[in-house]
Copies of this chain bind each other. A is one copy, B any other.
Amino acid sequence: MPDKMKLDELGEEWIIRHLARKFSTDNPRVTTAIGDDTSVSTQMGSMSLLATTDTLTEGVHFRQGLTTPKLLGAKALSISLSDIAAMGGWPLFLLVSLSLPPKTEKRFLDQLYSGIRSRAKQYGVGLAGGNLSRSSEISITTTVVGEAPKSDVVYRKGARAGDIIYVTGEPGEAALGLTELERTGLAEARRGPLRASVMRHLDPEPRLDAGRALAKEKLATAMIDVSDGVLLDLRRLCAQSGVGAAIEVGKLPLSAGLERYRDGGGRWASLALSGGEDYELLFTVRPKNAGRIEKLSKKLALRMTAIGRVTKGAKVCALGPDNRPLTIKKEGFLHF
């Protein structure tokens, strides 16, 4: 690619593959770098250390009038915890690097930290310090270090043809919530009929218990968290596993909010397949273990829905009611 090409011409998927090649590490203590939700490194005895970093930037990931500083702080941590969940691990500690304009009010900082703190407390995450600097736009980078027994870690690469594809919760909820939030504003959206969807966008729940259980019980053969949409994240999982996949659109779990759109054209399917920021877990399971997933789902009181099958080849498609592949226009959220 020519050096003068711009990032938005290259596209995010290309850039990430490109960096992954450059990033290939010869350090024997870093076992997985780019290509999974977190890096896995530094084997300490029988434990693997997991590390992940994410940035939320004003105007890109959030707008000040459409969330609160407290919700923003909690979300900044949750999205990193979700990466740890997708590896089957638990979090140890958190570092926060905050970039703030000089005219930011003390109240904003306090509420942001209050959100981070309460979410950290909820999951037993140690607040281990960070960095504070000046900028023209608000930007919050969270780095979470976690761990898992070496033999439990679930990668993106373990899926095999024939495996059943599952997803937790109801993907598409967060994207629906964001649409509503943009349409009505924060105050109305939080008390309106779609408030559950709105809160899924504003305050996603990292699926740490589910991820841990799926890893510990050796049920998930591959796993990823849905940050950029079911189809796009499934493609990433399949690429690492060297397999294809077929999703049956009719099987997608719909929330009460999404259900309202079922008869109004294909919008529900488009949200469920391509809506980002749900932070649900997408994972593959050997068919013989389907019964155990049902039990686990009941035990955790968390919906886990079989939505398709892993296939041979490299093709990832969504099948409509007539079993024909659907054409999806916008597949998920990409930065560039």
Contact = CB atoms under 8 A, between A and B. Distances in A.
B93 A39 contact: yes
Contacts of A322: none
A30 B126 contact: yes
Nearest to A125: B27
A153 B133 CA distance: 26
Number of copies of this chain that the complex holds: 2
B44 A45 contact: yes
Interface string A81-101: 000000000001101110111
Interface string A258-279: 0000000000000000000000
In this complex, the interface size class of chain A, counting residues with CB under 8 Å from chain B, is: 35 or more
A51 B333 CA distance: 31
Interface string A21-54: 0110101011001101011011111010101111
Interface stretch (A10-18, A190-198, A207-215, A245-253): A10-18
Contacts of A16: 132
15 contacts: A4-B107, A10-B106, A12-B132, A27-B127, A38-B129, A39-B95, A41-B126, A43-B92, A44-B45, A44-B47, A45-B45, A49-B145, A51-B143, A53-B143, A59-B136
